[in-house]
Copies of this chain bind each other. A is one copy, B any other.
Amino acid sequence: MKRFVSVRIAHLLALCAFLLLSTFAQAQTDPLPSWNDGASKKAILTFVKRVTTKGSPDFVPPPERIATFDNDGTLWAEQPMYFQFFFALDRVKALAPQHPEWKDKEPFASLLKGDVKGALAGGDRAMLELVLATHTGMSTEEFEKIVKDWLATAKHPVTKQPFTEMVYRPMLELLAYLRANGFKTFIVSGGGIEFMRPWMEKTYGIPPEQVVGSSIKTKFELRDGKPVLVRLPEVNFIDDNVGKPVGINQHIGRRPIAAFGNSDGDLQMLQWTTAGTGARFALIVHHTDAAREWAYDRQSSIGKLDKALDEAKAKGWTVVDMKNDWKRIFAFEQ
């Protein structure tokens, strides 16, 4: 009898161990642990299963599993203004001693007095002028070093975190999950292509050749027999709105099967992606969490989400409610 009981106990212990282990394994294998269970997470998992299941009518061969991601407001934050613009402001300050004429010239004059709002009163034109004045004139290699040096020390004005820490954990998990399922992940952003490339490989696991963005023209020159590419103060391409499908076609040459954005600037990319044949996926990150991040949409000057939100609802695209869908937004939380 004693012997029988021990055997029963041993069986029970084994059963418990099995149950514990399988629960643990299940927790371990959730590919999106920072996402709450809900419609958004389910839509992602269902789509990936559909296109990766061999023999399924929706199966997509790996080379065609192209996924494109906007950056500002989709993979990292964009408030109180685009991070690249903080970079431009710091560059104006750093370069001011070499530009005495800026003291009397807008938008530089206001900026140097600390009046960012005044500087931006000139709208897109002022913004472009600031970018061209601070992003050009040097070689591509020199610019890369300037960006890296800035990122190593610059801090976000509200969170006091390095800008590369202001990336969304749920989206990092999503990038890794898609890649683990044979997707090739691309950035398609209105941001400067050479402002993004120096840090995206480390932060997102996306190599420079998979980054599409806005660009200025460059010119090949031999300097003392050494070839350089000089950055010219002339716009080459604006990768936003109607520019996004153009940029996708130019760089990737294949229509994505999944696209991820957060604003009206992403609308055409989502339209272009979902207009293809076969299974398609479109997702919009809706900024609804004023406590952990920011809450904004139709009225915002940065990352305005209005038309794309209406179209998402009309077409059944996935709209992520950051407040309710995301368990944890930033790695530095708490």
Chain A residues within 8 Å of B, Cβ to Cβ:
63, 66, 140, 184, 186, 193-194, 197, 201, 207-211, 215, 218-220, 222, 226-227, 229, 236, 242-243, 245-246, 249-254, 268, 271-272, 275
Contact = CB atoms under 8 A, between A and B. Distances in A.
Nearest to A270: B227
A253 B219 contact: no
A254 B215 contact: no
Contacts of A186: 209
Contacts of A229: 245-246, 249
Contacts of A184: 209
Instruction: Pick the 9 closest A-B CB pairs, nearest first.
Output: A208-B253, A220-B242, A209-B252, A197-B253, A227-B271, A220-B245, A208-B254, A227-B272, A227-B275
Contacts of A236: 250
Nearest to A220: B242
A216 to B, nearest CB: 10
Contacts of A208: 252-254
A252 B245 CA distance: 18
A63 B227 contact: no
B251 A209 contact: yes
A243 B229 CA distance: 10
Contacts of A271: 222, 227
A66 B207 CA distance: 12
A193 B219 CA distance: 20
A209 B226 CA distance: 29
Contacts of A253: 193-194, 197, 208-209, 211
Contact of A246 (B211, B218, B254): B218
Task: Kindly name the residue among A215, A222, A249 whose own CB sees the greatest number of chain B CB atoms within 10 A.
Answer: A249
A317 to B, nearest CB: 15
Nearest to A63: B207
Task: Kindly name the residue among A243, A250, A251, A275 whose own CB sees the greatest number of chain B CB atoms within 10 A.
Answer: A250
Contacts of A215: 250
A249 B243 CA distance: 19
Contacts of A246: 218-220, 229
A243 B208 CA distance: 19
Nearest to A197: B253
Task: Kindly name the residue among A66, A209, A236, A246 whose own CB sees the greatest number of chain B CB atoms within 10 A.
Answer: A209
A35 B253 CA distance: 33
A103 B128 CA distance: 48
